Amino acid sequence: MRRRAGTAEGGAGMRRVLVLKNPSAGGAGDEAHRRVMEVLRDGADAVEAETGGPEGLARALAREPERDPVAVGGDGTLHAVVAALAERGELGTRTVGLVPLGTGNDMARSLGIPLDPEQAARVVAGGVERPMDLLRDDQGGVVVNAVHLGVGVTASRAASALKPVLRRLAYPVGALAAGIGVRGWPLRVEVDGTVVADGRRRVLMVGVGNGATIGGGTPLAPRATPDDGLADVVVSFSTGPLRRLAYGVLLRLGRHGRQDTVVTLRGAAVAVQGPPMRVNADGELTGPVTRRTWTITPAAWRIIVPAATSAAGADEEANHTSHR
- Give the pLDDT confidence score for residue 99 in this predicted structure: 96
**Of 50-54, 286-290, 300-304, which one has max mean pLDDT?**
300-304
- Give the pLDDT confidence score for residue 163 in this predicted structure: 66
- Give the pLDDT confidence score for residue 316 in this predicted structure: 56
- Give the pLDDT confidence score for residue 9 in this predicted structure: 39
- Give the pLDDT confidence score for residue 179 in this predicted structure: 63
| Contact present, 134 and 79 (Cβ < 8 Å) | no
- Give the pLDDT confidence score for residue 8 in this predicted structure: 40
Residue 321 has pLDDT above 60, yes or no: no
Least confident of 121-130, 172-181, 232-241, 279-288: 172-181
- Give the pLDDT confidence score for residue 172 in this predicted structure: 63
Residue 197 has pLDDT above 90, yes or no: yes
| Contact present, 189 and 195 (Cβ < 8 Å) | yes
Give the domain ranges of the chain.
Answer: 7-133+299-322, 142-297
Q: What are the CA-CA distances from residue 93 to residues 86, 89, 186 (Å)?
A: 11, 9, 42
- Give the pLDDT confidence score for residue 24 in this predicted structure: 59
- In terms of residues, how long is the chain? 324
Cβ-in-10-Å burial (0-12, 13-18, 19+) of 198 comes to exposed
- Give the pLDDT confidence score for residue 216 in this predicted structure: 86
Question: In 3D, which of 273, 207, 275 has the Cα closest to residue 238?
Answer: 207
SS3 state of residue 314: helix
- Give the pLDDT confidence score for residue 104 in this predicted structure: 83
Residue 12 has pLDDT above 70, yes or no: no
In order, the DSSP letters of 287-298 are EEEEEEEEEEEE
Q: What gap in Å lies between CA 81 and CA 71, rounded to an integer?
A: 7
Q: What gap in Å lies between CA 122 and CA 135, rounded to an integer?
A: 28
- Give the pLDDT confidence score for residue 10 in this predicted structure: 33
- Give the pLDDT confidence score for residue 52 in this predicted structure: 79
Q: What gap in Å lies between CA 138 and CA 149, rounded to an integer?
A: 16
Residue 7 has pLDDT above 50, yes or no: no
**Of 62-71, 161-170, 303-312, which one has max mean pLDDT?**
62-71
pLDDT band at 33 (very low <50, low <70, confident <90, very high): confident
Residue 146 has pLDDT above 90, yes or no: yes
Task: Kindly report whether the peptide bond that precedes residue 186 is cis, defined as omega within 30 degrees of 0.
Answer: no
Question: What is the rounded average pLDDT for all residues in the chain?
Answer: 87
Q: Is the dihedral of CA 141, 144, 149, 152 positive or negative?
A: negative
SS3 state of residue 188: strand
Rounded (10°) CA dihedral 162, 160, 274, 246 = -30
pTM value is: 0.85
| Contact present, 61 and 85 (Cβ < 8 Å) | yes
Q: What gap in Å lies between CA 2 and CA 124, rounded to an integer?
A: 14
Two domains, one topology: 7-133+299-322 and 142-297: no
- Give the pLDDT confidence score for residue 249 in this predicted structure: 85
Least confident of 4-13, 22-31, 172-181: 4-13
Residue 113 has pLDDT above 50, yes or no: yes
| Contact present, 274 and 199 (Cβ < 8 Å) | yes
**Of 1-15, 22-36, 226-240, which one has max mean pLDDT?**
226-240
Q: What gap in Å lies between CA 241 and CA 184, rounded to an integer?
A: 11
pLDDT band at 20 (very low <50, low <70, confident <90, very high): very high
Q: What is the mean pLDDT of residues 91-100?
A: 96
| Contact present, 299 and 95 (Cβ < 8 Å) | no
In CATH terms, 7-133+299-322 corresponds, of 3.30.70.890, 3.30.1240.10, 3.30.565.10, 3.40.50.10330, to 3.40.50.10330
pLDDT top residue among 22 and 183: 183
- Give the pLDDT confidence score for residue 214 in this predicted structure: 92
What is residue 282's DSSP assignment?
T
pLDDT top residue among 14 and 222: 222
- Tens digit of each residue's pLDDT (9 = 90 or more) over 308-319: 766 555 555 555
Q: What are the CA-CA distances from residue 31 to residues 26, 38, 121, 168 (Å)?
A: 8, 11, 14, 21
Domain 142-297 = CATH 3.40.109.10: no
Residue 302 has pLDDT above 60, yes or no: yes
Which 3-state string (H, E, C) describes 14-72?
CCEEEEEECCCCCCHHHHHHHHHHHHHHHHCEEEEEECCCHHHHHHHHHHCCCCEEEEE
Q: Which residues pair with 19 in a beta bridge?
A: 48, 70
